[in-house]
């Protein structure tokens, strides 16, 4: 029997279900660092997100992968860049203050877009379920309802889990 090294990468193939470990990790965090580029070059920002980590999020086909929802105004630097650049972004999500030997986190990239109508209503329900304090504050809820709700559909995800061995990675890509 071959011994696994910590740096081994487990790949999900295009069109396959997103691995459970990646879906759990997406649901375990609430803040992602979103990276994008605009006319002034690369930039990054932190946004709160809610994950719909079911494999057929939004009623899509099996293998459609998870969807992340975040709120930001289209007038922000990142909102303008994502609306104007075809919406491509990269991101990371991890808990602060981890020891290197147990470090876990996610890397990903995908396409962002502003939601409207029924898609926005469905995404908003996912967001409120993750952040129930928003619904409990009329002021906060009102402010967020007046801004844009975005979806980020990752087309590539990598979970790094040093707790399983230094450099352990599990990857998934959208078909």
Of 117, 140, 171, nearest in space to 48 by CA: 140
Alpha-carbon distance of 22 to 16, in angstroms, equals 13
The ranges assigned to domains in the chain are 9-173
How does residue 162 score in pLDDT terms, banded at 50, 70 and 90? confident
Higher per-residue confidence, 145 vs 102? 145
Is residue 6 over pLDDT 70?
no
Higher per-residue confidence, 47 vs 94? 47
* pTM of the shown model: 0.85
Residue with tokens 């081994």: 8
Is residue 98 over pLDDT 90?
no
Sign of CA dihedral 22, 23, 25, 30: positive
| Cβ atoms 131, 123 nearer than 8 A | no
Of 170, 157, 164, nearest in space to 6 by CA: 164
**CA-based Rg of the chain, rounded to a whole angstrom?**
17
The predicted structure's pLDDT at residue 10: 55
Average pLDDT over residues 5-30: 75
Is residue 129 over pLDDT 90?
yes
Is residue 3 over pLDDT 80?
no
The predicted structure's pLDDT at residue 126: 95
| Cβ atoms 138, 119 nearer than 8 A | no
Other C-beta atoms within 10 Å of 46: how many? Answer: 11
How does residue 15 score in pLDDT terms, banded at 50, 70 and 90? low
The string of DSSP letters for 71-113 reads E--TTSHHHHHHHHTTTEEEEEEE-SS--GGG-EEEEEEEEEE
Average pLDDT over residues 109-115: 95
How does residue 163 score in pLDDT terms, banded at 50, 70 and 90? confident
**pLDDT per residue over 29-72, tens digit each?**
999 999 999 889 999 999 999 999 765 444 445 557 899 999 99
Of 168, 161, 164, nearest in space to 104 by CA: 161
Is residue 1 over pLDDT 50?
no
Average pLDDT over residues 98-125: 89
Task: Give the CATH H-level superfamily of domain 9-173.
Answer: Electron Transport, Fmn-binding Protein; Chain A (2.30.110.10)
């Amino acid at each position: 029997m071959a011994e696994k090294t910590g740096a081994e990468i487990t790949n999900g193939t295009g069109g396959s279900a997103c691995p459970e470990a990646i879906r759990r990790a997406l649901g375990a965090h609430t803040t992602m660092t979103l990276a994008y580029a605009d006319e002034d070059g690369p930039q990054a920002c932190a946004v709160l997100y809610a994950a719909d980590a079911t494999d057929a999020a939004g009623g899509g086909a099996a293998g459609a992968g998870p969807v992340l929802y975040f709120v930001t105004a289209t007038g922000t630097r990142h909102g303008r860049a994502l609306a104007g650049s075809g919406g491509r972004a990269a991101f990371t999500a991890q808990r602060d203050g981890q020891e290197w030997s147990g470090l876990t986190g996610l890397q990903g990239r995908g396409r962002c877009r502003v939601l409207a109508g029924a898609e926005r209503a469905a995404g908003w329900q996912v967001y409120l379920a993750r952040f129930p304090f928003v619904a409990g504050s009329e002021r906060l809820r009102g402010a967020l309802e007046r801004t844009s709700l975005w979806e980020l559909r990752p087309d590539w995800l990598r979970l790094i889990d040093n707790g399983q061995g230094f450099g352990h990675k599990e990857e998934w890509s959208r078909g």
